[in-house]
């Protein structure tokens, strides 16, 4: 055999060995990522409506063990990416329902909403997994990870038009009195502060008995502080004067998304809202007349895009609505709007008792891939190129009514960004349409965000939802009444008074940022070896 042939055969052998080595590495790498992927999916069980918090210490233990065992920082980032992929794919599974409504047109897109969003969000888990290796393994790495995780989670505010859905702090928003107490600390540190404490406890609990005791003490203080605030502010609310707080009539038409899309029964849907409004306002007027002192104003609210056209430009429809709502002082109607550029806007308008136009608010935070299309997408997914956003939170000063801050659907999820800090309202109204997502976890996760905003800002919230859940929360996040999913009807309640601005309402997300930096500073300090040994046991 010639020397050339021997060299060629040797080269083929090297290439074959290289291919086998690459395949083995790929197989080994995928197996290594399977565990954090599973852990992320497991952690999603903590989100509303399940609130299965005991899975979090196990899930984060698996993630940090994978980070510890990764040979490089890149490997640690891959483990974090896998964890985030599992967390958000399961946590956002319900996004598929929006595509299934129009499956005949977008059947090819069915696998992408949940998985696609998870792929975009997963890097926000990869960064803290990689950078936490800057601290030694153990409690210091866990504390650094918790601070980094929370900062990165807050960073989702700047992703496209923002996507801060499902912070881990919302896991504490249990239904009922237990949740009322557990979410009270958000009045001081916001939901992101709750996320920081949640991750800290999840990563420290598996490290030994001393940390179990420490976390137990933190939880005990959390419960005592939450209960104290809940009952003290409850007394404050009961003693406060209602002022111009209105009787609200929240209309839930229970219109399916197929009915809205087909537009074949527009008149039937409009008549349904008129009928429900007439019935609800009659009850509202009766409640107002029985109130001690001067009768409070009566306000009716229709959900997001309940009116299918541009109500601001339709004087006849406004007059018809006002006649159906005879006895009410004002109405707030979810509708469409147009701007000077001619593009659509998602709006809510206020009209008076004669149907005259008073105010309009345009949704400021648009849903990525639903109302807003990121410019990098090569395919036109959002019809018409999407909507135009409004300028941001405002307060309406309507005649005879306490100041109100309107919010449309998705933008209520943005902690610290729902109120005009220079013109604080006395209550918030949120109009929404969750019909796209069916009777799934999605509307319940959305509801948890509404409740947390009430506590953070110290403001009561009235929420009108097309298919549910329509609800009123007081300024503590305590439920005053609801219409559940899939019910046609009206919810009539007198709005509770606001509380004084909370610590979070005054300083916003500066507080959780400072807490994160403080935690990261502790993790990166290098105390004496004996001190570290004594703490870690």
For the chain, the structural domain boundaries read 31-231+516-536, 243-501
Please report, for residues 187, 252, 513, the alpha-carbon distance to residue 319 in angstroms, rounded to integers and kept in the order given: 41, 21, 49
- Residue-level pLDDT at 536: 45
Q: Which range (25-34, 283-292, 388-397) has the least confidence? A: 25-34
Distance CA 380, CA 205 (A): 47
Residue 24 predicted with pLDDT over 80? no
Element of type H or E holding 465: strand 461-465
Percentage of residues of the chain with pLDDT beyond 70: 88
Does residue 528 have a pLDDT over 80? Answer: no
Residues 6+ apart with CB under 8 A from 209: 537
Helices 73-91 and 55-69: angle between axes, nearest 10 degrees:
150
Q: Which of 383, 438, 443, 370 is nearest to 412 (CA)?
A: 443
Residue pLDDT, tens place only, 420-478:
999 999 999 999 999 989 999 999 999 999 999 999 999 999 999 999 999 999 999 99
pLDDT computed for residue 532 by the predictor: 46
Task: Answer yes or no: is pLDDT of 108 > 60.
Answer: no
Residue-wise pLDDT for 234-273, tens only, equals 999 998 876 779 999 999 999 988 887 776 789 999 999 9
Q: State how far the Cα of 478 lies from the Cα of 454, in Å rounded to an integer.
A: 9
- Please determine, for residue 337, whether its predicted confidence score (pLDDT) is greater than 60: yes
Alpha helices in 385-499 (DSSP H): 441-457
Return the bridge partners of 428, or none.
405, 461
346-387 tens-digit pLDDT: 999 999 999 999 999 999 999 887 787 776 665 666 666 678
Query: How far are the Cα atoms of 159, 192, 252, 432, 495 from residue 492, in angstroms, in the given order?
Result: 38, 32, 11, 17, 9
Quick one: how far is CA 411 from the chain centroid?
A: 8
Distant-in-sequence contacts of 227-232, Cβ < 8 A, 24+ apart: 227/181, 227/184, 229/184, 229/185, 229/187, 229/476, 230/180, 230/181, 230/184, 230/476, 230/478
Question: 3-state class of 305 per DSSP?
Answer: coil
What is the Cβ-side half-sphere exposure of residue 276, based on CA atoms within 13 angstroms?
A: 26
- Asked whether 101 and 434 are in contact (CB, 8 A), the reply is no
Hey, which residues does 368 pair with through a beta bridge? 372
CA dist 449 and 468 (Å) reads 15
Three-state DSSP string of 436-447: HHCCCHHHHHHH
- In whole angstroms, how far apart are CA 453 and each of 1, 137, 414, 473, 511? 80, 36, 8, 10, 15
Q: What is the predicted pLDDT for the residue at 407? A: 98
- Residue 534, pLDDT score: 46
The token duo for 531 is 């001190």
CA-wise closest residue to 40 among 82, 69, 94: 82
Question: By the 8 A CB rule, do 450 and 461 touch?
Answer: yes
Phi then psi for residue 369, to 5 deg, are 70, 0
- Which residues are 493's β-sheet partners? 248
Residue-level pLDDT at 9: 62
Q: Band of the pLDDT at 8, cuts 50, 70, 90? A: low
User: What is residue 535's predicted lDDT score, i.e. its pLDDT?
Assistant: 44
pLDDT in tens, 52-69: 999 999 999 999 999 999
- Rounded to a whole number of angstroms, the CA Rg of the chain reads 26
pLDDT (0 to 100) of residue 259:
82
Q: What is the 3-state secondary structure (H, E, C) of 336-370?
A: EEECCCCCEEEEEEEEECCCCEEEEEECCCCCECC
Q: For residue 172, what pLDDT is reported?
A: 98
Average pLDDT over residues 79-91: 97
Q: Of the CATH numbers 1.10.10.10, 3.40.50.720, 1.10.10.1590, 3.60.110.10, which one belongs to the domain with range 243-501?
A: 3.60.110.10
Res 340: pLDDT: 82
The whole-angstrom separation of Cα 348 and Cα 427 is 16
Mean pLDDT within 132-149: 97
- Count the neighbouring beta carbons within 10 Å of the beta carbon of residue 309: 13
CA distances from 33 to 59, 85, 129, 134, 190 (A): 13, 11, 13, 21, 33
> Nearest-5° angle of CA 245, CA 411, CA 461?
20
Predicted confidence (pLDDT) at residue 148 exceeds the cutoff of 90: yes
Instruction: Average the pLDDT over 282-297 and give the result.
Output: 94
**pLDDT score of 17 more than 70:** no
d(CA 299, CA 325): 9
CA 324 to centroid of chain Cα atoms: 34
Question: How far is the C-alpha of 106 from the C-alpha of 101, rounded, in Å?
Answer: 9
What is the predicted pLDDT for the residue at 493? 98
Cβ atoms 346, 410 nearer than 8 A: no
Average model confidence (pLDDT) across the chain: 90
> What is the C-alpha separation between 529 and 111, in angstroms, rounded?
51
User: Residues 6 or more apart from 8 whose CB is under 8 A from it?
Assistant: none
């Amino acid at each position: 055999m010639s020397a050339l042939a021997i060299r060629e055969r040797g080269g083929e052998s090297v290439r074959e060995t290289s291919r086998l080595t690459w395949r083995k590495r790929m197989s080994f790498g995928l197996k290594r990522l399977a565990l954090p992927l599973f852990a992320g999916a497991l952690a999603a069980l903590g989100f509303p409506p399940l609130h299965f918090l005991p899975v979090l210490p196990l899930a984060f233990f698996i993630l940090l063990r994978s980070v510890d065992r990764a040979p490089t920082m890149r490997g640690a980032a891959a483990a974090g990416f896998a964890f985030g992929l599992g967390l958000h794919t399961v946590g956002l599974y319900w996004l598929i329902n929006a595509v299934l409504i129009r499956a005949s047109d977008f059947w090819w897109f069915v696998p992408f909403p949940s998985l696609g969003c998870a792929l975009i969000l997963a890097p926000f888990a990869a960064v803290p997994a990689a950078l936490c290796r800057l601290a030694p393994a153990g409690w210091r790495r866990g504390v650094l990870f918790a601070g980094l995780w929370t900062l990165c989670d807050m960073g989702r505010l700047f992703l496209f038009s923002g996507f801060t859905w499902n912070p881990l702090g919302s896991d504490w928003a249990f239904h009922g009195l237990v949740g009322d107490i557990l979410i009270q600390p958000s009045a001081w540190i916001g939901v992101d502060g709750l996320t920081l404490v949640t991750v800290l406890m999840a990563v420290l609990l598996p490290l030994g008995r001393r940390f179990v005791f420490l976390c137990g003490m933190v939880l005990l203080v959390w419960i005592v502080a939450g209960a104290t605030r809940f009952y003290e502010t409850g007394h404050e609310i009961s003693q406060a004067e209602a002022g111009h707080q209105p009787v609200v009539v929240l209309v839930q038409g229970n219109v399916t998304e197929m009915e809205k899309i087909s537009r074949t029964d527009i008149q039937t849907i409009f008549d349904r809202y008129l009928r429900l409004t007439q019935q609800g306002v009659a009850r509202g007027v009766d409640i107002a007349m029985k109130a001690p002192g001067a009768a409070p104003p009566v306000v009716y609210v229709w959900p997001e895009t309940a009116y299918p056209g541009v109500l601001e430009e339709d004087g006849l429809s406004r007059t018809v609505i006002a006649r159906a709502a005879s006895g009410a002082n004002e109405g707030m109607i979810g509708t469409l709007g147009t701007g000077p550029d001619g593009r659509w806007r998602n709006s809510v308008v206020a009209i008076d008792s004669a149907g005259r136009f008073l105010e309009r608010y345009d949704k400021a935070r648009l849903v990525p891939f639903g109302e807003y299309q990121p410019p990098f997408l090569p395919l036109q997914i959002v019809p018409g190129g999407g909507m135009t956003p409004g300028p941001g939170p405002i307060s309406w000063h309507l005649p005879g009514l306490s100041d109100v801050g309107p919010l449309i659907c998705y933008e209520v999820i943005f902690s610290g960004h729902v109120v005009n800090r220079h013109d604080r309202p006395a209550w918030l109204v949120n109009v929404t349409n969750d019909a796209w997502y069916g009777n799934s976890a999605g509307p319940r996760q959305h509801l948890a965000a509404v409740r947390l905003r009430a506590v953070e800002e110290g403001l009561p919230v009235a929420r009108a939802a097309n298919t549910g859940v329509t609800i009123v929360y007081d300024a503590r996040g305590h439920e005053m009444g609801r219409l559940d999913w899939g019910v046609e009807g009206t919810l009539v309640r007198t709005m509770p008074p606001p509380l004084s601005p909370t610590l979070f309402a005054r300083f916003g997300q500066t507080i959780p940022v400072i807490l994160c930096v403080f935690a990261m500073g502790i993790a990166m300090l290098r105390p004496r070896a004996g001190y570290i040994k004594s703490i870690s046991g």
